[in-house]
Homo-oligomer: A and B are copies of this chain.
Amino acid sequence: MSSAHTSSFAPLKNDTFLRACMRQATDYTPLWLMRQAGRYLPEYCATRTKAGSFMGLATNVDYATEVTLQPLARYPLDAAILFSDILTVPDAMGLGLSFALGEGPRFASPVRDEAAVAKLEVPDMDKLRYVTDAVTSIRKALNGRVPLIGFSGSPWTLACYMVEGKGSDDYRLVKTMLYSRPDLMHRMLQVNADAVAVYLNAQIDAGAQAVMIFDSWGGVLADGAFQPFSLAYTARVLAQLKRTGVDGQIVPRIVFTKGGGLWLSDMKALDCEVLGLDWTMNLGTARKIVGGDVGGPGKALQGNIDPNVLFAPPEAIRAEVARVLDSFGLPHTDRSIPGPTQIFNLGHGISQYTPPDNVAVLVEAVHTHSRGRRT
Protein backbone atom coordinates (compact mmCIF):
# COMPACT_ATOMS: atom_id res chain seq x y z
CA MET A 1 0.00 0.00 0.00
CA SER A 2 1.60 3.27 -1.07
CA SER A 3 1.71 6.29 1.20
CA ALA A 4 -0.17 8.19 -1.49
CA HIS A 5 -3.21 6.11 -0.58
CA THR A 6 -2.86 6.54 3.12
CA SER A 7 -1.48 10.04 3.66
CA SER A 8 -4.90 11.65 3.68
CA PHE A 9 -6.29 10.04 6.86
CA ALA A 10 -8.16 12.43 9.14
CA PRO A 11 -6.58 13.35 12.47
CA LEU A 12 -7.62 11.16 15.41
CA LYS A 13 -10.34 12.66 17.61
CA ASN A 14 -10.46 9.99 20.37
CA ASP A 15 -7.03 8.70 21.32
CA THR A 16 -8.10 7.23 24.70
CA PHE A 17 -7.55 3.64 23.55
CA LEU A 18 -4.09 4.36 22.11
CA ARG A 19 -3.07 6.30 25.22
CA ALA A 20 -4.15 3.43 27.49
CA CYS A 21 -2.20 0.98 25.28
CA MET A 22 0.91 3.11 25.90
CA ARG A 23 0.20 3.14 29.69
CA GLN A 24 -0.66 6.82 29.62
CA ALA A 25 -3.26 8.22 32.00
CA THR A 26 -6.75 8.71 30.53
CA ASP A 27 -9.95 10.36 31.79
CA TYR A 28 -11.81 7.05 31.72
CA THR A 29 -11.14 3.38 30.90
CA PRO A 30 -11.47 2.93 27.13
CA LEU A 31 -13.27 -0.12 25.80
CA TRP A 32 -13.98 -2.13 22.73
CA LEU A 33 -15.43 -5.63 22.42
CA MET A 34 -13.90 -8.64 20.76
CA ARG A 35 -16.10 -9.56 17.77
CA GLN A 36 -18.02 -6.29 18.21
CA ALA A 37 -19.05 -6.42 14.54
CA GLY A 38 -20.98 -9.64 14.56
CA ARG A 39 -24.10 -11.73 14.50
CA TYR A 40 -25.70 -10.26 17.63
CA LEU A 41 -26.39 -7.14 15.53
CA PRO A 42 -29.39 -7.44 13.16
CA GLU A 43 -27.75 -4.95 10.78
CA TYR A 44 -24.72 -7.27 10.56
CA CYS A 45 -26.95 -10.21 9.71
CA ALA A 46 -28.63 -8.14 7.01
CA THR A 47 -25.29 -7.25 5.41
CA ARG A 48 -24.12 -10.83 5.61
CA THR A 49 -27.28 -11.98 3.85
CA LYS A 50 -26.54 -9.49 1.08
CA ALA A 51 -22.94 -10.74 0.88
CA GLY A 52 -24.07 -14.36 0.65
CA SER A 53 -21.43 -15.80 3.00
CA PHE A 54 -18.93 -14.94 5.68
CA MET A 55 -16.04 -14.85 3.21
CA GLY A 56 -18.22 -12.88 0.80
CA LEU A 57 -18.46 -10.31 3.57
CA ALA A 58 -14.77 -10.39 4.50
CA THR A 59 -13.46 -10.20 0.92
CA ASN A 60 -15.67 -7.28 -0.17
CA VAL A 61 -14.14 -3.97 0.86
CA ASP A 62 -17.46 -2.13 1.01
CA TYR A 63 -19.20 -4.77 3.08
CA ALA A 64 -16.20 -5.17 5.40
CA THR A 65 -16.17 -1.41 5.93
CA GLU A 66 -19.92 -1.31 6.52
CA VAL A 67 -19.97 -4.02 9.18
CA THR A 68 -16.84 -2.73 10.94
CA LEU A 69 -18.60 0.60 11.49
CA GLN A 70 -21.98 -0.83 12.54
CA PRO A 71 -21.23 -1.24 16.28
CA LEU A 72 -19.80 2.30 16.39
CA ALA A 73 -23.12 3.65 15.15
CA ARG A 74 -24.82 2.07 18.15
CA TYR A 75 -22.27 2.43 20.93
CA PRO A 76 -19.56 4.98 21.86
CA LEU A 77 -16.77 2.41 21.64
CA ASP A 78 -13.18 3.63 21.82
CA ALA A 79 -11.72 1.54 19.01
CA ALA A 80 -12.76 -0.21 15.81
CA ILE A 81 -11.36 -3.57 14.76
CA LEU A 82 -10.98 -4.69 11.17
CA PHE A 83 -13.74 -7.10 10.18
CA SER A 84 -11.97 -10.22 8.98
CA ASP A 85 -11.10 -13.72 10.15
CA ILE A 86 -8.01 -15.11 11.87
CA LEU A 87 -7.70 -17.77 9.15
CA THR A 88 -7.13 -15.54 6.12
CA VAL A 89 -3.38 -16.29 6.16
CA PRO A 90 -3.61 -20.11 5.82
CA ASP A 91 -6.33 -19.53 3.22
CA ALA A 92 -3.82 -17.44 1.25
CA MET A 93 -1.36 -20.32 1.67
CA GLY A 94 -3.76 -22.40 -0.41
CA LEU A 95 -5.56 -24.45 2.24
CA GLY A 96 -9.03 -23.52 0.97
CA LEU A 97 -11.01 -21.85 3.75
CA SER A 98 -14.77 -22.11 3.83
CA PHE A 99 -17.53 -21.39 6.33
CA ALA A 100 -20.64 -23.52 6.16
CA LEU A 101 -23.65 -21.71 7.65
CA GLY A 102 -24.05 -22.57 11.33
CA GLU A 103 -20.65 -24.27 11.43
CA GLY A 104 -17.14 -23.09 12.11
CA PRO A 105 -14.35 -22.61 9.58
CA ARG A 106 -13.05 -25.57 7.60
CA PHE A 107 -9.97 -26.11 5.41
CA ALA A 108 -10.26 -28.24 2.29
CA SER A 109 -6.54 -29.19 2.45
CA PRO A 110 -5.36 -29.64 6.02
CA VAL A 111 -1.60 -29.96 6.68
CA ARG A 112 -0.94 -33.37 8.19
CA ASP A 113 2.28 -34.80 6.81
CA GLU A 114 5.84 -33.94 5.95
CA ALA A 115 5.05 -33.25 2.30
CA ALA A 116 2.27 -30.82 3.17
CA VAL A 117 4.47 -29.01 5.70
CA ALA A 118 7.34 -28.80 3.20
CA LYS A 119 5.09 -27.04 0.70
CA LEU A 120 4.12 -24.24 3.12
CA GLU A 121 5.47 -20.80 2.44
CA VAL A 122 4.76 -17.19 3.27
CA PRO A 123 1.95 -16.25 0.89
CA ASP A 124 2.15 -13.40 -1.58
CA MET A 125 0.41 -10.46 0.10
CA ASP A 126 -1.43 -9.80 -3.16
CA LYS A 127 -3.67 -12.70 -2.13
CA LEU A 128 -4.55 -10.74 1.01
CA ARG A 129 -5.05 -7.47 -0.82
CA TYR A 130 -8.77 -7.63 0.10
CA VAL A 131 -7.72 -7.30 3.73
CA THR A 132 -5.32 -4.38 3.33
CA ASP A 133 -7.78 -2.61 1.02
CA ALA A 134 -10.42 -3.05 3.71
CA VAL A 135 -8.07 -1.59 6.33
CA THR A 136 -7.55 1.56 4.25
CA SER A 137 -11.24 1.84 3.42
CA ILE A 138 -12.28 1.45 7.08
CA ARG A 139 -9.65 3.90 8.27
CA LYS A 140 -11.00 6.48 5.81
CA ALA A 141 -14.61 5.77 6.76
CA LEU A 142 -13.78 6.15 10.43
CA ASN A 143 -12.64 9.68 9.62
CA GLY A 144 -10.54 9.89 12.77
CA ARG A 145 -13.38 9.01 15.10
CA VAL A 146 -11.52 6.18 16.91
CA PRO A 147 -8.37 4.18 16.10
CA LEU A 148 -8.47 1.07 13.91
CA ILE A 149 -7.03 -2.23 15.19
CA GLY A 150 -5.65 -4.77 12.71
CA PHE A 151 -5.19 -8.41 13.71
CA SER A 152 -4.09 -11.94 12.94
CA GLY A 153 -4.23 -15.37 14.53
CA SER A 154 -1.03 -16.42 16.31
CA PRO A 155 1.31 -18.91 14.60
CA TRP A 156 0.20 -21.70 16.97
CA THR A 157 -3.51 -20.93 16.61
CA LEU A 158 -3.18 -20.97 12.83
CA ALA A 159 -1.32 -24.29 13.08
CA CYS A 160 -4.19 -25.78 15.12
CA TYR A 161 -6.66 -25.06 12.35
CA MET A 162 -4.19 -25.96 9.58
CA VAL A 163 -3.62 -29.45 11.02
CA GLU A 164 -7.08 -30.18 12.43
CA GLY A 165 -8.76 -28.74 9.34
CA LYS A 166 -11.52 -27.30 11.55
CA GLY A 167 -12.29 -26.56 15.19
CA SER A 168 -11.47 -29.33 17.65
CA ASP A 169 -12.34 -30.22 21.21
CA ASP A 170 -9.18 -32.22 21.94
CA TYR A 171 -6.54 -30.93 19.46
CA ARG A 172 -5.50 -34.51 18.97
CA LEU A 173 -4.11 -34.21 15.46
CA VAL A 174 -2.09 -31.06 16.00
CA LYS A 175 -0.74 -32.29 19.32
CA THR A 176 0.09 -35.66 17.81
CA MET A 177 2.26 -33.83 15.29
CA LEU A 178 3.73 -31.65 18.05
CA TYR A 179 4.73 -34.61 20.22
CA SER A 180 5.61 -37.02 17.39
CA ARG A 181 7.24 -34.72 14.85
CA PRO A 182 8.31 -31.53 16.64
CA ASP A 183 10.56 -30.80 13.62
CA LEU A 184 7.53 -30.51 11.34
CA MET A 185 5.66 -28.43 13.89
CA HIS A 186 8.56 -26.01 14.26
CA ARG A 187 8.87 -25.66 10.49
CA MET A 188 5.14 -24.88 10.19
CA LEU A 189 5.29 -22.39 13.05
CA GLN A 190 8.28 -20.59 11.49
CA VAL A 191 6.42 -20.14 8.22
CA ASN A 192 3.31 -19.05 10.08
CA ALA A 193 5.22 -16.54 12.19
CA ASP A 194 6.92 -14.96 9.20
CA ALA A 195 3.63 -14.88 7.29
CA VAL A 196 1.79 -13.27 10.21
CA ALA A 197 4.53 -10.64 10.53
CA VAL A 198 4.36 -9.71 6.84
CA TYR A 199 0.56 -9.69 7.05
CA LEU A 200 0.40 -7.42 10.09
CA ASN A 201 3.02 -5.10 8.60
CA ALA A 202 0.85 -4.85 5.47
CA GLN A 203 -2.10 -3.91 7.69
CA ILE A 204 0.04 -1.28 9.42
CA ASP A 205 1.09 0.13 6.05
CA ALA A 206 -2.56 0.20 5.01
CA GLY A 207 -3.54 2.28 8.03
CA ALA A 208 -3.93 0.05 11.10
CA GLN A 209 -3.16 2.05 14.27
CA ALA A 210 -2.73 -0.94 16.61
CA VAL A 211 -2.37 -4.66 15.95
CA MET A 212 -3.51 -7.67 17.94
CA ILE A 213 -2.33 -11.27 17.84
CA PHE A 214 -5.08 -13.73 18.80
CA ASP A 215 -3.51 -16.78 20.43
CA SER A 216 -6.96 -18.27 20.81
CA TRP A 217 -5.69 -21.81 21.34
CA GLY A 218 -2.45 -21.19 23.24
CA GLY A 219 -4.27 -22.19 26.42
CA VAL A 220 -4.79 -25.77 25.27
CA LEU A 221 -1.07 -26.49 25.40
CA ALA A 222 0.70 -28.09 28.32
CA ASP A 223 3.03 -26.05 30.45
CA GLY A 224 6.41 -26.67 28.87
CA ALA A 225 4.83 -26.91 25.39
CA PHE A 226 3.20 -23.47 25.41
CA GLN A 227 6.56 -21.72 25.78
CA PRO A 228 8.42 -23.28 22.80
CA PHE A 229 5.43 -23.87 20.49
CA SER A 230 3.25 -20.80 21.01
CA LEU A 231 5.00 -18.05 22.95
CA ALA A 232 8.33 -18.32 21.06
CA TYR A 233 6.58 -17.84 17.71
CA THR A 234 4.46 -14.96 18.96
CA ALA A 235 7.78 -13.40 19.95
CA ARG A 236 9.12 -14.12 16.46
CA VAL A 237 6.18 -12.20 14.98
CA LEU A 238 6.62 -9.27 17.37
CA ALA A 239 10.32 -8.97 16.54
CA GLN A 240 9.47 -8.37 12.88
CA LEU A 241 6.67 -5.81 13.30
CA LYS A 242 6.94 -2.21 12.22
CA ARG A 243 6.89 0.13 15.18
CA THR A 244 5.20 3.11 13.54
CA GLY A 245 2.21 3.49 11.28
CA VAL A 246 1.68 5.53 8.11
CA ASP A 247 1.17 8.71 10.12
CA GLY A 248 4.38 8.24 12.11
CA GLN A 249 2.57 7.25 15.31
CA ILE A 250 3.64 4.26 17.40
CA VAL A 251 1.51 1.18 16.68
CA PRO A 252 0.77 -0.67 19.95
CA ARG A 253 0.93 -4.45 19.80
CA ILE A 254 -1.60 -6.51 21.77
CA VAL A 255 -1.13 -10.22 22.52
CA PHE A 256 -4.13 -12.22 23.75
CA THR A 257 -3.67 -15.83 24.83
CA LYS A 258 -7.01 -17.34 25.78
CA GLY A 259 -6.41 -19.43 28.90
CA GLY A 260 -2.92 -17.98 29.25
CA GLY A 261 -3.21 -16.49 32.74
CA LEU A 262 -0.87 -19.09 34.21
CA TRP A 263 1.91 -17.98 31.87
CA LEU A 264 1.82 -14.23 32.51
CA SER A 265 5.32 -14.27 34.00
CA ASP A 266 6.56 -15.86 30.77
CA MET A 267 4.66 -13.30 28.68
CA LYS A 268 6.20 -10.46 30.62
CA ALA A 269 9.27 -10.78 28.37
CA LEU A 270 7.25 -10.30 25.14
CA ASP A 271 8.13 -7.16 23.19
CA CYS A 272 4.55 -5.82 23.11
CA GLU A 273 2.60 -3.05 24.79
CA VAL A 274 -0.61 -4.80 25.84
CA LEU A 275 -1.58 -8.26 27.13
CA GLY A 276 -5.18 -9.42 26.73
CA LEU A 277 -6.71 -11.60 29.45
CA ASP A 278 -9.72 -13.84 29.66
CA TRP A 279 -12.14 -13.80 32.61
CA THR A 280 -10.37 -16.51 34.61
CA MET A 281 -7.51 -14.18 35.49
CA ASN A 282 -7.80 -11.70 38.32
CA LEU A 283 -6.81 -8.29 36.92
CA GLY A 284 -5.27 -7.16 40.21
CA THR A 285 -3.02 -10.22 40.25
CA ALA A 286 -2.13 -9.70 36.59
CA ARG A 287 -1.31 -6.06 37.30
CA LYS A 288 1.10 -7.15 40.03
CA ILE A 289 2.84 -9.58 37.66
CA VAL A 290 3.05 -7.51 34.45
CA GLY A 291 1.33 -4.15 35.00
CA GLY A 292 4.47 -2.39 36.22
CA ASP A 293 4.75 0.61 38.50
CA VAL A 294 3.90 4.25 37.96
CA GLY A 295 6.90 5.76 36.21
CA GLY A 296 8.34 2.34 35.33
CA PRO A 297 7.94 -0.14 32.46
CA GLY A 298 5.14 -2.67 32.23
CA LYS A 299 2.28 -3.87 30.05
CA ALA A 300 -1.18 -2.39 29.70
CA LEU A 301 -3.89 -5.01 30.39
CA GLN A 302 -6.91 -5.64 28.18
CA GLY A 303 -10.02 -7.44 29.40
CA ASN A 304 -11.75 -9.29 30.89
CA ILE A 305 -15.46 -9.56 31.69
CA ASP A 306 -17.25 -12.85 30.98
CA PRO A 307 -19.35 -12.27 27.80
CA ASN A 308 -22.15 -14.23 29.48
CA VAL A 309 -22.63 -11.31 31.88
CA LEU A 310 -24.39 -9.67 28.92
CA PHE A 311 -27.32 -12.07 29.40
CA ALA A 312 -28.06 -10.65 32.85
CA PRO A 313 -30.36 -7.70 33.63
CA PRO A 314 -28.92 -4.14 33.55
CA GLU A 315 -28.27 -3.85 37.29
CA ALA A 316 -26.30 -7.12 37.29
CA ILE A 317 -24.29 -5.99 34.24
CA ARG A 318 -23.42 -2.72 36.02
CA ALA A 319 -22.38 -4.59 39.17
CA GLU A 320 -20.10 -6.93 37.22
CA VAL A 321 -18.58 -4.04 35.26
CA ALA A 322 -17.80 -2.30 38.56
CA ARG A 323 -16.35 -5.53 39.96
CA VAL A 324 -14.03 -5.99 36.95
CA LEU A 325 -12.91 -2.34 36.99
CA ASP A 326 -12.35 -2.51 40.76
CA SER A 327 -10.38 -5.76 40.44
CA PHE A 328 -7.82 -3.88 38.33
CA GLY A 329 -7.61 -1.19 40.99
CA LEU A 330 -7.16 2.52 40.44
CA PRO A 331 -5.40 3.43 37.19
CA HIS A 332 -2.72 6.06 37.59
CA THR A 333 -3.68 9.65 36.83
CA ASP A 334 -0.35 11.44 36.35
CA ARG A 335 -0.27 12.38 32.68
CA SER A 336 3.45 13.13 32.77
CA ILE A 337 4.57 9.52 33.30
CA PRO A 338 3.50 6.01 32.25
CA GLY A 339 1.83 3.63 34.68
CA PRO A 340 -0.64 0.73 34.98
CA THR A 341 -3.64 1.02 32.64
CA GLN A 342 -6.58 -1.12 31.61
CA ILE A 343 -8.44 -1.33 28.32
CA PHE A 344 -11.85 -2.77 29.10
CA ASN A 345 -12.97 -5.66 26.94
CA LEU A 346 -14.70 -9.01 27.12
CA GLY A 347 -12.58 -12.04 27.99
CA HIS A 348 -13.60 -13.62 24.66
CA GLY A 349 -15.73 -12.74 21.62
CA ILE A 350 -19.27 -11.54 22.17
CA SER A 351 -21.95 -14.23 21.84
CA GLN A 352 -24.23 -14.14 18.81
CA TYR A 353 -27.18 -14.40 21.21
CA THR A 354 -26.36 -11.18 23.09
CA PRO A 355 -29.22 -8.66 23.34
CA PRO A 356 -27.84 -5.46 21.72
CA ASP A 357 -29.46 -3.27 24.41
CA ASN A 358 -27.36 -4.97 27.06
CA VAL A 359 -24.20 -3.98 25.20
CA ALA A 360 -25.31 -0.35 25.53
CA VAL A 361 -25.68 -0.86 29.28
CA LEU A 362 -22.17 -2.32 29.51
CA VAL A 363 -20.54 0.45 27.47
CA GLU A 364 -22.25 3.16 29.49
CA ALA A 365 -21.33 1.45 32.77
CA VAL A 366 -17.64 1.18 31.83
CA HIS A 367 -17.41 4.84 30.85
CA THR A 368 -19.40 6.17 33.80
CA HIS A 369 -17.94 3.99 36.53
CA SER A 370 -14.34 4.39 35.36
CA ARG A 371 -14.70 8.15 35.05
CA GLY A 372 -16.23 8.34 38.52
CA ARG A 373 -13.33 6.42 40.05
CA ARG A 374 -10.82 8.97 38.77
CA THR A 375 -12.38 12.00 40.49
- Chain A residues with a Cβ under 8 A of chain B: 170-172, 175-176, 178-180, 219, 221-226, 259, 261-262, 279-282, 304-306, 308-309, 311-313, 316, 320, 323, 327, 347, 351, 353
Query: Which residue of B has the minimal Cβ distance to A354?
Result: B172
What chain B residues lie within 8 Å of A306 (beta carbons)?
Answer: 175, 179, 221-222, 225
The answer to whether A308 touches B223 (Cβ under 8 A) is no
Nearest-Cβ distance from residue A335 to partner chain B, whole angstroms: 30
What chain B residues lie within 8 Å of A221 (beta carbons)?
Answer: 280, 306
Query: Which residue of B has the minimal Cβ distance to A219?
Result: B280
The answer to whether B222 touches A279 (Cβ under 8 A) is yes
Query: Which residue of B has the minimal Cβ distance to A278?
Result: B222
Q: Determine which of B176, B280, B311 lies in contact with A175 in the assembled complex, contact meaning CB atoms within 8 Å.
A: B311
What chain B residues lie within 8 Å of A223 (beta carbons)?
Answer: 279-282, 327
Known contacts A222-B347, A323-B224: A176-B308 contact under CB 8 Å: yes
The answer to whether B308 touches A175 (Cβ under 8 A) is yes
Q: Determine which of B172, B259, B311, B327 lies in contact with A311 in the assembled complex, contact meaning CB atoms within 8 Å.
A: B172
Known contacts A308-B171, A316-B180: A327-B262 contact under CB 8 Å: no
The answer to whether B176 touches A312 (Cβ under 8 A) is yes
A-B pairs with beta carbons under 8 Å apart, 5 shown = A175-B311, A176-B312, A180-B312, A222-B306, A224-B323
The answer to whether B308 touches A280 (Cβ under 8 A) is no
The answer to whether A172 touches B353 (Cβ under 8 A) is yes
Nearest-Cβ distance from residue A312 to partner chain B, whole angstroms: 4
What chain B residues lie within 8 Å of A347 (beta carbons)?
Answer: 222
